[in-house]
């Protein structure tokens, strides 16, 4: 797809060749040198000429002066040389005759890319440990992962989304102890995930003690839990039946959340699926002489690479998290023959991924460099760290419920007769949380403030969803408009289209950096530009039918681009609010 940068870059390359016929430049590199100046008074695009000083053997000031003479194109309105920079203003003709028709024509494909065609990406995200509460700490992997999947799909990749559920491990031993001691089937069936969380918190408090509520630690319960898990590993049918039931309940509870977010997975193949595949990988490690025995445990020494050893088998022979990851990656390569396998987890697991990626490389698997870890910052709530074990967490379902309640309250006041009120309240409430989360750079730690997330002032999800609905409402009131050419006469119209035309570039950089927040911020730019246009330019009431038609089309283009961007970040397109 041609972008404004690539178009101008081509013109710069031909101008450079006119200055020096020998100059070797490629348009893609030049496009990357073009900048968007922070202050639009300086132009819409700026080109730093010092980048060509070497090639052209002239000073930036000389180059800039020469280029102003040579650069001309229908997309360029004016070019100015300022201190060795070229300041370029984009022409309204280009915006009206190239950009807008392209958006209106391509519709839901506007912004889509082709560079992923024929390639496969596997994405491992969300992947919560079951039997534990699904809390705010899991929001990041879930929405960042899904967004990255959507972005890749938009670039043409075949994507496989895997929820690598943590459905194996001592947490099930704990839960089984708790259930046998304090639970009963009916209560858990009826209480669902809340009942499970209660049991989980209770057993952890009992094991480690909790001074605040006067519980004395009883470490023997931890041994009991390990024993119950060991029984599971040995194939004890009673425990396995309990385990299957607990897994089913947890998945069902999490499904509700995914449904609210509009997320589905292509596979739920979790940790328990790899029990049988692991021995082959362990045997290979052993044959290759990569395994070292240390105090009974088997590990791969990584000191040469400046890392602690990667633990493969415990003393009792049971497998570990990295071992399962190696077996799972091998399986995915066989199943999907991926070009990239992306893992989205918190930064706390950076070392884990570095270690086992290295092991895969040492094992001679040539796909080791196709494994990508995408870490994100950790979440605290109102300044305090999350602590699953003691129950100091905010469950996602409760967070969503609080947000939806709040929206419902506002609607009852402002728009009590809205049809589909419940669905809209849910879309906006959940959207508020998702948008708040995805406005941050992924790697930054987040101090999640419930108050801020649920505040509907400023640059929030409700604001952009409201803007989308506003565009829809203009369109539904506009009726049929004449098929007149678009004309751009005001500064607001031009600014809006200039914003819209950056969408494709944003998509590309969001994919390159695995950064959904670029899309979130793009949405905010579009919303601001559209609202300025909406307030300052009369749309439906314009006297001249050609102007009216043109502005309706601009509104339609905004709706298309906003909608395409919403789809990339799990935000519902609310037509009416």
DSSP class of residue 267? B
The answer to whether 17 and 23 have CB atoms below 8 angstroms apart is yes
Kindly tell me which of 157 and 164 has the beta carbon lying closer to ligand ARG: 164
CB of 204 to ligand ARG, least distance (A): 16
Helix intervals (H) in 135-219? 139-154, 170-182, 185-208
What is the sign of the dihedral through the CA atoms of 128, 134, 136 and 142?
positive
CB of 167 to ligand ARG, least distance (A): 9
The residues near 144 (Cβ < 8 Å, ≥ 6 apart) are 125, 344, 374, 376, 438, 442, 516
Binding site for ligand ARG (CB under 6 A): 124, 127-129, 164, 166, 325, 343, 345
Kindly tell me which of 113 and 345 has the beta carbon lying closer to ligand ARG: 345
Which among 311, 308, 326, 321 has a CA at the least distance from the CA of 368? 326
The answer to whether 271 and 168 have CB atoms below 8 angstroms apart is yes
d(CA 516, CA 145): 9
Q: Please, which residues bridge with residue 346 across strands?
A: 376
CB of 386 to ligand ARG, least distance (A): 12
Which among 496, 477, 461, 478 has a CA at the least distance from the CA of 573? 461
d(CA 495, CA 181): 66
Both tokens of 201, joined, read 């918190």
Kindly tell me which of 145 and 183 has the beta carbon lying closer to ligand ARG: 145
Which among 197, 205, 135 has a CA at the least distance from the CA of 380? 135
Residue with tokens 């009963």: 184
Kindly tell me which of 348 and 538 has the beta carbon lying closer to ligand ARG: 348
For 456, phi then psi, to 5°, come to -100, 15
Kindly tell me which of 128 and 429 has the beta carbon lying closer to ligand ARG: 128
CB of 308 to ligand ARG, least distance (A): 17
Kindly tell me which of 122 and 407 has the beta carbon lying closer to ligand ARG: 122
The answer to whether 160 and 120 have CB atoms below 8 angstroms apart is yes
Find the residue with minimal CB distance to ligand ARG: 166
CB of 266 to ligand ARG, least distance (A): 15
CB of 330 to ligand ARG, least distance (A): 12
Q: How far is CA 292 from CA 148, 287, 351, 402, in A?
A: 38, 12, 20, 51
Kindly tell me which of 437 and 534 has the beta carbon lying closer to ligand ARG: 437
CB of 164 to ligand ARG, least distance (A): 5
Kindly tell me which of 250 and 487 has the beta carbon lying closer to ligand ARG: 250
d(CA 228, CA 203): 14
Kindly tell me which of 277 and 575 has the beta carbon lying closer to ligand ARG: 277
d(CA 418, CA 428): 14
CB of 276 to ligand ARG, least distance (A): 18
CB of 247 to ligand ARG, least distance (A): 13
Kindly tell me which of 355 and 572 has the beta carbon lying closer to ligand ARG: 355
The answer to whether 116 and 155 have CB atoms below 8 angstroms apart is yes
Which strands sit side by side in the sheet containing 291-294, from one edge to the other? 291-294, 297-300, 310-313
CB of 127 to ligand ARG, least distance (A): 4
CB of 150 to ligand ARG, least distance (A): 19
Kindly tell me which of 57 and 314 has the beta carbon lying closer to ligand ARG: 314
CB of 124 to ligand ARG, least distance (A): 5
Beta strand pairing call for 291-294 and 297-300? antiparallel
Q: How far is CA 511 from CA 88, 112, 154, 159, in A?
A: 27, 12, 10, 13
Kindly tell me which of 308 and 545 has the beta carbon lying closer to ligand ARG: 308
Kindly tell me which of 60 and 128 has the beta carbon lying closer to ligand ARG: 128
Strands (E), 49-155: 76-82, 85-90, 120-124
Kindly tell me which of 111 and 375 has the beta carbon lying closer to ligand ARG: 375
Q: Which long-range contacts (CB under 8 A, 24 or more apart) does 199-204 make?
A: 199/175, 200/131, 200/132, 200/133, 200/171, 200/174, 200/175, 201/389, 201/390, 201/391, 202/178, 203/174, 203/175, 203/177, 203/178, 204/174, 204/389, 204/390
d(CA 343, CA 451): 31
Both tokens of 268, joined, read 């739920």
CB of 222 to ligand ARG, least distance (A): 20
CB of 133 to ligand ARG, least distance (A): 11
């Amino acid at each position: 797809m041609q972008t404004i940068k690539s178009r101008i870059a081509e013109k710069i390359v031909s101008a450079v060749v006119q200055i020096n016929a020998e100059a070797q430049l490629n348009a893609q590199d030049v496009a990357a040198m073009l900048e968007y100046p922070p202050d639009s008074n300086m132009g819409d695009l700026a080109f730093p000429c010092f980048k060509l000083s070497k090639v052209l053997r002239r000073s930036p000031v000389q180059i800039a002066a020469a280029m102003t003479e040579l650069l001309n194109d229908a997309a360029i309105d004016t070019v100015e040389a300022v201190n060795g920079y070229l300041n370029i203003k984009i022409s309204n003709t280009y915006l009206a005759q190239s950009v807008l028709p392209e958006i209106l024509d391509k519709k839901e494909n506007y912004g889509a890319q082709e560079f992923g065609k024929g390639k496969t990406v596997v994405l491992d995200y969300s992947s919560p440990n079951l039997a534990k509460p699904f809390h705010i700490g899991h929001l990041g992997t879930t929405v960042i992962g899904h967004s990255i999947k959507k972005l890749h799909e938009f670039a043409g990749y075949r994507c496989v989304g895997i929820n690598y559920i943590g459905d194996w491990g001592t947490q099930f031993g704990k839960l089984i102890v708790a259930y046998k001691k304090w639970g009963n089937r009916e209560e858990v069936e009826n209480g669902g995930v809340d009942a499970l969380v209660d049991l989980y918190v209770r057993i952890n408090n009992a094991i480690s003690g909790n001074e605040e509520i006067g519980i004395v630690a009883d470490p023997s319960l931890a041994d009991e839990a390990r024993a119950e898990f060991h029984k599971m590993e040995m194939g004890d049918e009673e425990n396995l039946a309990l385990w299957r039931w607990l897994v089913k309940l947890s998945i069902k509870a999490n499904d509700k959340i995914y449904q609210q977010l509009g997320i589905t997975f292509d596979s739920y193949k979790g940790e328990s699926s790899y029990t049988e595949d692991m021995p082959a990988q362990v045997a290979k490690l052993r044959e290759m002489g990569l395994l070292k025995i240390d105090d009974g445990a088997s590990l791969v020494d990584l000191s040469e690479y400046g890392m602690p050893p990667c633990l493969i088998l415990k003393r009792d022979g049971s497998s570990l998290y990295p071992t399962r990851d190696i077996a799972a990656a091998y399986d995915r390569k066989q199943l999907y023959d991926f070009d990239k396998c992306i893992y989205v987890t918190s930064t706390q697991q950076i070392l884990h991924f570095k270690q086992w990626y290295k092991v895969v490389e040492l094992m001679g698997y040539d796909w080791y460099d196709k494994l990508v870890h995408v870490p994100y910052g950790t979440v605290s709530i109102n300044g305090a760290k999350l602590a699953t074990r003691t129950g100091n967490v905010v469950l996602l379902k409760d967070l969503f419920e609080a947000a939806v309640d709040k929206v419902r309250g506002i609607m009852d006041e402002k728009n009590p007769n809205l049809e589909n009120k419940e669905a809209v309240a849910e879309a906006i409430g959940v959207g508020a949380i998702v948008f708040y989360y995805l406005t941050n750079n992924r790697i930054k730690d987040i101090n999640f403030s419930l108050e801020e997330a649920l505040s509907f002032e400023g640059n929030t999800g409700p604001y952009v969803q409201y803007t989308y609905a506003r565009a829809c409402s203009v369109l539904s009131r506009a009726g049929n408009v004449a098929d007149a050419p678009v004309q751009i006469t005001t500064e607001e119209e031009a600014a809006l289209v200039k914003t819209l035309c950056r969408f494709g570039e944003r998509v590309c950089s969001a994919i390159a950096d695995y950064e959904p927040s670029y899309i979130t911020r793009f949405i905010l730019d579009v919303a601001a530009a559209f609202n300025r246009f909406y307030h300052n330019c009369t749309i439906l009431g314009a006297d001249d039918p050609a102007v009216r038609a043109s502005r309706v089309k601009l509104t339609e283009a905004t709706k298309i681009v906003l909608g395409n961007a919403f789809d990339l970040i799990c935000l519902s397109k609310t037509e009416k609010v």
